[in-house]
Amino acid sequence: MGRELDTTGTFCPVPILKTGRILQELGPGAELAVLSDDPGILTDLPDFCTAHGHRYLGCSTEPSGVYRLTIRKQGGPGRTTALGLLSGGLDSTLAARLLQDQGVEVRGVHFSTGFCMVDHRRALGRPTDLEEPDRVRNQALKVAGEHTIPLDVVDVSDEYLETVVLNPKHGYGAAFNPCIDCRIFMLRKADELAGEQGIDVVFTGEVMGQRPKSQQRATLDLIEREAGMQGRLLRPLSARHLPETEAEAAGQVDRERLWHAHGRGRSEQMKLAARFGVTDYPTPGGGCCYLADHNFARRMRDLVAHNRSGSLEKRSILRLKVGRHLRLGYNAKVIFGRDEAESTFLAREVQGDTWGVHVADGRGSFGIIEGAPDETRLKTAAGLAARYSRQRNGTRVTVHLIRQDSRRPVEVAPVAEEELKDWLI
């Protein structure tokens, strides 16, 4: 009788993280049934099995609609010699393939920071997203499966928020993206993991000169130095423009078989992709990090500016990814869903001190009120709920103010269009 792992109610990367932990406890040949209600697991788990050499036995659906996926653990992989930061993008894929091409055994690590757009799409579960598998697919696991790269998915979200996002030594980019501090943080983590696993080389997919701030030569040197990896960090795509690393000098990696990409053009990467038969990859430079999104950045700055406690709750940050945000006062903000998926998500957030606000007939956006709103701001939020409903042209609308299990009806006039600009973030 095999083991069973129930991951229902969780989304990427949690099901894969839990699967990896359970498999460490099992011997070769053991079977594990994974239960999940995340549609993305239908691609993630087969990718995970391919990457780690386990056998995927198939999937069935329980009467409740929960997926039951079964895998069989195979014997462990051989000793790995190179560990790469694997994002699922083209550059990190090509860096791994360059090393595999010269016989280096490659492993990958993917750090889950809590700011990935793909993870959020899966949590919302919009039908239009679920109909396009690549919009909800973990790209790092996909690449790992396609190129047989054993991949560790590591949740660093709590530490990342406090040490990188809120307190970056080197500041932010154009949005709220602390790219330099992010790179230093991830390289330190990768170096620790490589040391624990006896791995010889840490590598990345960085290309010198590709990004205006974080990938200039001086910045690459700074990142390497502050990560404590001087002379040890390998960047295969631009290696021949950079000083020789210890691995190259020791003959562990053949420098002449590494690449010479440089600058913002991508013709060199296209050549490599054709050579290795890599054809299915995300749009180069597209990114999937909310911290580089300017709308998210405005909301994040607003949240920080109106936070008295000095620390931010993860739920408040999660809500920044959803809906329309309107600042009613220093200690009151309202968020309205822009579609059914977002309204459903926000309705689940009505708990504790969080208010809900919704027109009585249910034909409008659901909203939540954060903070400690007074009666005036509760009425303003109700007027906004009327504005974002099918009764926006009415004179008086009944709106429910919701607190846990209670509903208080109020009669309000819908907020006028010209007033919205005063509150929209």
> For the chain, what is the domain count?
3
Residue 136 lies in a domain: no
- Tens-digit pLDDT string for the chain (425 aa): 579 999 999 888 889 999 999 998 888 778 999 999 998 899 999 999 888 888 899 999 999 999 999 998 876 444 437 999 999 889 999 999 999 998 898 999 999 999 988 877 777 777 777 677 667 678 898 899 999 999 999 999 999 999 999 999 999 999 999 999 999 999 999 999 999 988 999 999 999 988 877 889 999 999 999 999 999 999 999 999 999 999 888 778 889 999 999 988 888 898 899 999 898 776 665 568 999 999 999 999 999 999 877 778 888 999 999 999 999 999 999 999 999 999 999 999 999 889 999 999 999 999 999 999 999 999 999 999 999 999 999 999 999 999 988 899 999 999 998 999 889 99
Residue 163 lies in a domain: yes
Report the side by side order of strands in the sheet with 397-403. Answer: 324-329, 332-336, 367-371, 355-359, 397-403, 406-412
Same domain, 68 and 88: no
Same domain, 299 and 246: no
Same domain, 237 and 356: no
Which bin fits 39, alpha (ψ -120 to 50), beta or left (φ > 0)?
alpha
In the block, residue with structure tokens 């000098």: 249
CATH code for position 25: 3.30.110.40
* DSSP string covering 286-318: ---BGGG-HHHHHHHHHHHHT-SSSS--HHHHH
Residue 415 lies in a domain: yes
Supply the range of the domain harboring residue 18: 3-72
Q: Whole-angstrom Cα distance, residue 160 to residue 170?
A: 15
